[in-house]
């Protein structure tokens, strides 16, 4: 069955969407950003959209710039349960978190706490570390691997802000595929694996990642490093040319010898007022 997971985070609000844009509140700031999924008409009039504190526009295929309507702090902090996450306006149009992932953060923390046993968790491609910190705050030991050193620095800032400086997190700036292959050779074992791979990317030594080609291989290696008593596998994917059913089939193949349940579907943001859903990503969870 295909499911829908939506953000439940008081610090965030999708105010409106449409005409290729989304109007969002991150704490005290309102942002107007590009949203290619929003082909529909905007629900609110221009008065609401003019309240944006900053507007992001693309300048080329990769980067863009912010037009500031009001003064915005260079950095500000939002809270999710016991986590504190630093926000910044980047040249990619990102702010430091993907709000729809909050449903996954809650799942991770709950599963870790309910396991009531020591857990070793691998976190791959998880950007500024909210998923990693959710697992660590629940009591797990976490290995966080990301090819982007700036993203890891940002994640470590979030660790400090959240008061998790003494938690056992290893931060490893490396290509995820290389790392997992090496863990197979080392006979390392993990009780849970979290993944949020990109559609396309390059590692520190120019390694090329293409989701359709690379993800099935990565998933196979991840299966080999699961412990004898695994808790879950969680993966999300953005802007990839596959459905959540395909993602579910891939994870089902990888876990066919394990006893557990698979759930797959979409992540989305529920719009204020009319509760329209803005789809953002697909996901799949296997849990024992």
Q: Which of 31, 100, 54 is closest to 268 using CA atoms?
A: 100
For residue 94, tell me if it sits in a domain: no
For residue 93, tell me if it sits in a domain: no
Question: What is the distance between the alpha carbons of residues 8 and 101, in angstroms, rounded to a whole number?
Answer: 10
For residue 210, tell me if it sits in a domain: yes
Burial 133-161 (b: 16+ CB within 10 A, else e): bbbbbbbbbbbbbbbbeebbebbbbbbeb
Q: What is the mean pLDDT of the chain?
A: 95
195 and 163 assigned to the same domain: yes
Confidence bin at 61 (pLDDT 50/70/90):
confident
Last residue of a domain, one of 45, 63, 87: 87
118 and 167 assigned to the same domain: yes
Note the pLDDT of residue 166.
Answer: 82
Last residue of a domain, one of 40, 62, 87: 87
**Average pLDDT for residues 101-125, to the nearest whole number?**
97
Q: For residue 112, count other CB atoms closer than 10 A to its CB.
A: 24
Note the pLDDT of residue 69.
Answer: 97
**Beta pairing partners, 143:** 122, 170
140 and 246 assigned to the same domain: yes
For residue 53, tell me if it sits in a domain: yes
For residue 92, tell me if it sits in a domain: no
Note the pLDDT of residue 75.
Answer: 98
83 and 43 assigned to the same domain: yes
For residue 55, tell me if it sits in a domain: yes
Confidence bin at 206 (pLDDT 50/70/90):
confident
Q: What is the DSSP letter of 276?
A: -
* Tally of domains in the chain: 2
Confidence bin at 207 (pLDDT 50/70/90):
confident
CATH number of 198's domain: 3.40.50.150
**Average pLDDT for residues 117-137, to the nearest whole number?**
97
Supply the range of the domain harboring residue 35: 2-87
| DSSP assignments along 90-127, one per residue | -TTS--S--GGGHHHHHHHHHHHHHH-S--EEEEES-T
Residue 217: half-sphere exposure toward Cβ, Cα within 13 Å: 11
Q: Which of 114, 266, 111, 264 is closest to 193 using CA atoms?
A: 111
Note the pLDDT of residue 43.
Answer: 97
259 and 169 assigned to the same domain: yes
259 and 207 assigned to the same domain: yes
Note the pLDDT of residue 245.
Answer: 96
138 and 245 assigned to the same domain: yes
pLDDT tens profile 242-270: 999 999 999 999 999 999 999 999 999 99
Last residue of a domain, one of 33, 53, 87: 87
Count the residues in the chain.
288
**Beta pairing partners, 144:** 123, 171
Question: What is the distance between the alpha carbons of residues 164 and 36, in angstroms, rounded to a whole number?
Answer: 36
**Average pLDDT for residues 136-141, to the nearest whole number?**
97
**Average pLDDT for residues 138-158, to the nearest whole number?**
97
For residue 170, tell me if it sits in a domain: yes
62 and 197 assigned to the same domain: no
Note the pLDDT of residue 2.
Answer: 67
CATH number of 70's domain: 2.60.40.1180
Q: Which two tokens stand for residue 152?
A: 């890891």
57 and 129 assigned to the same domain: no
Burial 274-284 (b: 16+ CB within 10 A, else e): eebebebbbbb
H or E element, residue 33: strand 29-34
21 and 77 assigned to the same domain: yes
pLDDT tens profile 166-181: 889 999 999 999 999 9
Asked whether the whole model's pTM tops 0.85, one would answer: yes
Note the pLDDT of residue 95.
Answer: 98
Confidence bin at 142 (pLDDT 50/70/90):
very high
pLDDT tens profile 175-203: 999 999 999 999 999 999 999 999 987 77
Q: What is the DSSP letter of 131?
A: H
115 and 251 assigned to the same domain: yes
For residue 42, tell me if it sits in a domain: yes
69 and 107 assigned to the same domain: no
In this predicted structure, the answer to whether residue 1 has a pLDDT above a threshold of 60 is no
């Amino acid at each position: 069955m295909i499911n829908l997971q939506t953000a439940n985070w008081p610090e965030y609000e999708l105010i409106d969407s449409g005409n290729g844009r989304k109007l969002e509140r991150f704490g005290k700031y309102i942002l107007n950003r590009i949203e290619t999924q929003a082909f529909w008409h905007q629900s609110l009039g221009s008065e609401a959209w003019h309240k944006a504190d900053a507007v992001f526009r693309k300048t080329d295929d990769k980067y863009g710039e912010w037009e500031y309507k009001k003064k915005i702090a260079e950095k500000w902090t939002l809270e999710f349960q016991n986590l504190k996450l630093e926000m910044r306006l980047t040249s990619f149009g990102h702010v430091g978190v993907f709000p729809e992932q909050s449903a996954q953060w809650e799942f991770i923390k709950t599963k870790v706490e309910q396991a009531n046993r020591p857990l070793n968790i691998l976190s791959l491609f998880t950007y500024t570390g909210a998923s990693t910190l959710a697992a660590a705050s629940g009591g797990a030991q976490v290995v966080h691997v990301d090819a982007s050193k700036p993203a890891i620095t940002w994640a470590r800032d979030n660790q400090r802000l959240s008061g998790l400086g003494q938690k056992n997190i290893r931060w490893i700036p490396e290509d995820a595929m290389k790392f997992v292959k090496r863990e197979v050779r080392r006979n390392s074992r993990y009780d849970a694996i979290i993944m949020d791979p990109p559609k396309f990317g390059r590692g520190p030594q120019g390694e090329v990642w293409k989701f359709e080609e690379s993800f099935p291989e990565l998933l196979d290696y991840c299966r080999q490093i699961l412990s004898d008593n695994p808790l879950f596998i969680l993966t999300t994917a953005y802007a990839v040319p596959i459905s959540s059913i395909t993602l579910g089939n891939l994870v089902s193949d990888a876990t066919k010898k394990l006893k557990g349940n698979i759930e797959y579907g979409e992540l989305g943001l529920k719009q204020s007022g009319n509760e329209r859903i803005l789809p953002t990503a697909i996901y799949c969870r296997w849990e024992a």
